[in-house]
């Protein structure tokens, strides 16, 4: 499995650390249901899934990687900072 | 006050010459991480050019020359090696002193590419990785920075605490390449 880092180019999976699903962080003041969903509820698809990966052996960027969980095909990679996941100030 | 004796990261480990290749320690002088504030990269590049004569490097590139270099060091970060950072840089970037924090070695010789091919999962051959190119990459499970400084020469950096492992792994790979003749 190889991930094409937007900064470093195509790199081997061993350079990356896996975090989990890439979810949009609820806005400040969101209700309990929104936070419950963000913290606890996860999809478990056999197919494309948005995930967070950290390029710890490379440029130290957090990436939003769209990966097919059935085939490990990498469909899309972008910097998490530019992926609109919320939390921006 | 105690008399402290400065000891470089690779003291007693190098130099080494194996199979026509040399492994030596570099003493780059001051090292400082330069991380531009949001939207300040162009202004920082101008300040860097004015103060130290080199632009802020693009991803996977190094600017400057031996003794005074800016090496791309990750997302929105470069490592200034050699001169102490000018005060004007602090207006546009966060400056963090990294002197003594990194072990810096130079691998030089015609088979240097073959040695690194055993340790680094990135293509470092001359046709794709030219002088002035740099990568942040894994080197035998260590976070490393590899920069081409000449046709057969590379500057390799890891955390100071890993200096002994770095030298061991490089020497082992050099011996293995040399043994193939």
Within a domain: A58: yes
Within a domain: B87: yes
Range of the domain at B40: 30-97
Within a domain: B5: no
Q: Do B136 and A60 touch (CB under 8 A)?
A: yes
Q: pLDDT of A68-88, one tens digit each?
A: 999 999 999 999 988 888 866
Counting one residue from chain A and one from chain B, the pairs whose CB atoms sit within 8 A come to: 40
Within a domain: B82: yes
Distance from CA of B13 to the nearest CA of A (A): 25
- One domain, residues B20 and B39: no
**Segments in chain B below pLDDT 70:** 181
In the block, residue with structure tokens 């030596």:
B24
Q: How many C-beta neighbours within 10 Å does residue A48 have?
A: 15
**How many domains, in total, are found in chain A?**
1
**Pairing relation of β-strands A74-79 and A62-68?**
antiparallel
Distance from CA of A2 to the nearest CA of B (A): 11
Q: What's the rounded Cα separation, in Å, for the pair A60 and A63?
A: 9
- One domain, residues B144 and B175: yes
Q: What integer pLDDT is reported at residue A89 of this predicted model?
A: 56
Query: Nearest Cβ partner of A7 from B75, B138, B143?
Result: B75
Q: pLDDT of B76-108, one tens digit each?
A: 999 999 999 988 989 999 999 999 899 999 999
Is the interface score ipTM higher than 0.95? no
- Mapped onto helix, strand or coil, the DSSP state of residue B93 is strand
C-beta contacts of A79-86 below 8 A and 24+ residues apart: A79/A6, A79/A7, A79/B75, A80/A22, A80/A52, A83/A22, A84/A24, A85/A22, A85/A23, A85/A24, A85/A25, A86/A24, A86/A25, A86/A26, A86/A27
Q: What integer pLDDT is reported at residue B3 of this predicted model?
A: 86
In order along its 89 residues, chain A shows pLDDT tens digits of 899 999 999 999 999 999 999 999 998 888 999 999 999 999 999 999 999 999 999 999 999 999 999 999 999 999 998 888 886 65
Q: Do A59 and B75 touch (CB under 8 A)?
A: yes
Token reading at B172: 């082992």
Residues of chain B in contact with residue A7, where contact means CB-CB under 8 angstroms, are: 59-60, 75
Chain B residue with minimal CA distance to A7? B59
Q: What integer pLDDT is reported at residue A88 of this predicted model?
A: 65
Buried-exposed string B106-122: b where 16+ CB fall within 10 A, e elsewhere? bbbbebbbbbbbebbeb
Within a domain: B131: yes
Q: What integer pLDDT is reported at residue A83 of this predicted model?
A: 86
Selection from A63, A60, A56, A66 nearest residue A81 by Cα:
A63
* Domain CATH code at residue B161: 3.30.1360.120
- One domain, residues B93 and B112: no
Q: What's the rounded Cα separation, in Å, for the pair B120 and B142?
A: 10
* Domain CATH code at residue A75: 3.30.2270.10
- One domain, residues B93 and B148: no
């Amino acid at each position: 499995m190889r991930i094409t880092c937007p900064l470093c180019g195509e790199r081997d999976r061993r350079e990356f650390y896996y975090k989990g699903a890439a979810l949009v962080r609820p806005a400040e003041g969101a209700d309990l249901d929104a936070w419950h969903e963000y913290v606890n509820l996860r999809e478990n698809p056999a197919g494309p899934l948005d995930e967070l990966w950290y390029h710890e052996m490379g440029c130290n960027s957090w990436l939003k990687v769209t990966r097919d969980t059935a085939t490990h095909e990498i469909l899309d990679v972008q910097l998490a900072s530019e992926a609109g996941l919320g939390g921006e100030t | 006050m105690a008399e402290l004796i400065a000891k470089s990261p690779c003291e007693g480990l190098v130099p080494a010459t194996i199979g026509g290749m040399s492994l030596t320690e570099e003493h780059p002088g001051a090292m400082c991480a330069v991380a531009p504030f949001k939207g300040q990269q162009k202004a920082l590049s101008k300040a860097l050019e004015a103060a130290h004569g080199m632009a802020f490097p693009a991803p996977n590139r190094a600017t400057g020359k031996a003794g005074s270099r800016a090496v791309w060091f990750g997302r929105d970060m470069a490592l200034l090696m050699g001169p102490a950072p000018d005060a004007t840089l602090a207006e546009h970037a966060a400056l963090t002193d990294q002197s003594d924090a990194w072990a810096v070695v130079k691998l030089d010789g015609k088979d240097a590419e073959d040695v690194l091919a055993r340790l680094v999962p990135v293509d470092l051959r001359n046709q794709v990785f030219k002088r002035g190119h740099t990568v942040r990459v894994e080197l035998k499970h260590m976070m490393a920075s590899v920069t081409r400084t000449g046709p057969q020469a590379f500057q390799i950096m890891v955390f100071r605490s890993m200096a002994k492992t770095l030298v061991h792994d490089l020497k082992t790979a050099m011996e293995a390449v040399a043994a193939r003749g």
